[in-house]
Amino acid sequence: MKLSGASANRTELTLNRGRDLAFAAAGVLLFSDIAFSAPTKTEVESALQKAVTFFSQTVARHGGYVYFYSPDLARRLGEGEARATEIWVQPPGTPTVGLAFLEAWRTTGDQLHLDAAVAAGEALAYGQLESGGWRNQIEFDPAGPRVDQYRNGKGRGKNQSTLDDQISQDALRFLIRLDEALQQKNAAIHDAVEHGLAGILDAQFSNGAFPQIWTGKVPPVQAKKAAFPDYDWRTEGRIKEYWDQFTLNDGVAGSVTELLITAHEVYGDDRYKEALKKLGGFLMLAQLPEPQPAWAQQYGPDMYPIWARKFEPPAISGRESEDVMLSLLRIAEYTGDKKFLEPIVPAVKYLESSLLPDGRMARYYELENNKPLYMERRGDVYTLTNDDSNLPKHYGWQNESRLDLIKNAYRAVVAGKPLEPLLDPLDLSEANVESILKGLDATGRWVSVYDGELLVGQAKFQPGDQYLSSEEFSKNVTVLSRWLGGR
C-alpha cells in the first residue's frame, strides 16, 4: 500500500499481532487497521505559511483582493469582472482576507502574516473616501472608470461612503484590529481608523439610526415610533434617495453593532459605547406594532416602512428582523442593559407563527395581512405577488430561519453566558483541520469546483470550472489559526 502527500507523514500502521501472525502462516499480511495521527502544530503552521505566501505574494494586487479568481489568475471577479488595477472592499474581499491574516499572526507570531495584513490595510487606507468610509471597490488607476473621491487626493467623482453589504463596517473593523496589532505605530493605518470612526459617528442620526450612504454629517431628525403607513404603500412611500433614510437592509444593524463594540474594546472611547446604545434605542423604536412586532428594511422620516429598489417593497422583512434581534442581544450583552431584550420575545413568537410550510422564512411579509410577499419580473418590470412559483433568481426571497439560534442566544444573555460561541461557530475538529490540510495543493491553493450554486457578486463560472475563493481562503486560514490557538 502506498501513501502519499500529507497523509503519508501522519499515518502509522497499527497491526493486531495475534491475527497477523495467524495470517502470516498463510502468507497473508492484513492492513485493515489504519490509525491516523492528529495534525501537528508544525504541519498547521507550515500550511499557513504556504497558503498565506501564495495569496499575499501571488494573488494580491496592490495588497488587496477580489472575491474569486481563475486558477491561472487571468480572471479576477468582484461584482462582475474586475480590472487588474481594482480590489474589492465588500466582503469577502480585502477586509475579510486581512482579518484572516491577523488570525494567523496572533496564533503563530509569524511576521509573514502581519506583513500581509499591513499590505491589505494600506490598500484600504489608499481607497478611503473623504467622507470617511468606502465604496465596494478601490481603483488604483487615477484615470480608471470606477475611481472615487479618495481622501489621498488621487481620485475623483463620488464621495458616497456606504454601509451596504458591510462594506465600510468590515473595512474599519479590520483596520481597528490591525491598528491594535501595530500598537498604533503605523501612521497611515491609525489615521484611516480615526477618520473612519469620525465618519461613522457623523453618519448616525440623532434617533440612533444609520443611512445606507453618507457623504458628511447627517441632519438632525425627530425620534418617532414605527407605525404602519396611513396610505396605500403599494403606490406611495417611494422616496427617490431612499439610501439617505433609516436603513436596516443587508445586515446594517449587526455589522454596525460589531464595529462599535470593536472600537470601544480597542480604544475605550465612550463615544462608541454611547453610539451603540443610541443604535439599540433606534432598533426598539423601529419595531412595528402588533400584530406584526418585527422590522422593515428601511423607514422614512415618519417611521413608516418605505420602498427601496423596485423589488424591495415596504414590508416586514424576515431576514432583517433576525439581524435586528441578534444585534439587540449583542447590545444587551455588551452594555449590561436588559431593556434591549424587551422586543425579542414578541418578535420571535410572531415570526415563528409566520414561517412558511417548509420551515423557512419569507424575505417579506405583507403589511397588516401578513401574507408572504414576492415579486414577479418581466424585463425590468417587477410586479407584487403572493405567489412564489416564479421568483427572480437574483434575490433571496426565502431563507433558512435563525429563530432557534436567536432563542438560544436570548437564553444565554439572560443567564449571563457569552454569545460568541453561539454567534461565531467554527468547526475546529481535528477531522476538519485534516481535511483543510489535505485540500491545500503544492502551490499553496485551495481550489474550488463550481457546482452551479449562486455565488456572491453573481460571479459567472460554468459547472465544473475550477476557481479560487477569497472566502474559502479566509475561512480555512481562520480555522487553522484558531485550532492552533486552542493547543
Once rounded to an integer, what is the mean pLDDT over residues 119-126?
98
How high is the pLDDT of residue 456? 87
Query: Shortest CA distance to 69 belongs to which of 81, 53, 51, 86?
Result: 81
How high is the pLDDT of residue 356? 98
Look at residue 138 and tell me whether its pLDDT is greater than 70: yes
Classify the C-alpha dihedral 129-133-135-137 as positive or negative.
positive
Residue type, 25: A
Question: Do 155 and 131 contact (CB within 8 A), yes or no?
Answer: no
How high is the pLDDT of residue 36? 54
Once rounded to an integer, what is the mean pLDDT over residues 460-467?
93
Percent of the chain with pLDDT strictly greater than 90: 88
Look at residue 483 and tell me whether its pLDDT is greater than 50: yes
Once rounded to an integer, what is the mean pLDDT over residues 261-279?
98
pLDDT tens track for 413-455: 999 999 988 998 899 999 999 999 999 999 999 999 999 888 8
Look at residue 22 and tell me whether its pLDDT is greater than 60: no
Cα–Cα distance measured from residue 272 to residue 283, given in angstroms and rounded to the nearest whole number: 17
pLDDT tens track for 48-67: 999 999 999 999 999 999 99
Pull the grid cell for residue 268: 475605550
Calculated CA dihedral for residues 124, 129, 135, 138, nearest 10 degrees: -50
| Domain residue limits, the chain | 5-36, 41-203+426-487
Cα–Cα distance measured from residue 128 to residue 248, given in angstroms and rounded to the nearest whole number: 23
Look at residue 31 and tell me whether its pLDDT is greater than 90: no
Look at residue 314 and tell me whether its pLDDT is greater than 60: yes
Look at residue 26 and tell me whether its pLDDT is greater than 60: no
**280: Cα separation from own chain's centroid:** 20
How high is the pLDDT of residue 32? 40
Q: What is the DSSP string of 84-149?
A: TTEEE-STTSHHHHHHHHHHHHHHH--HHHHHHHHHHHHHHHHT-BTTSS--SEEE-STTSTT---
pLDDT tens track for 388-404: 999 998 899 999 999 99
Classify the C-alpha dihedral 401-402-406-407 as positive or negative.
positive
How high is the pLDDT of residue 1? 33
Calculated CA dihedral for residues 133, 139, 142, 148, nearest 10 degrees: -30
How high is the pLDDT of residue 6? 38
Dmax over Cα atoms in the chain, in whole Å? 91
pLDDT band of residue 15 (cuts 50, 70, 90) is: very low
Compute the mean pLDDT over every residue in the chain, rounded to the nearest whole number: 92
Question: Do 133 and 214 contact (CB within 8 A), yes or no?
Answer: yes
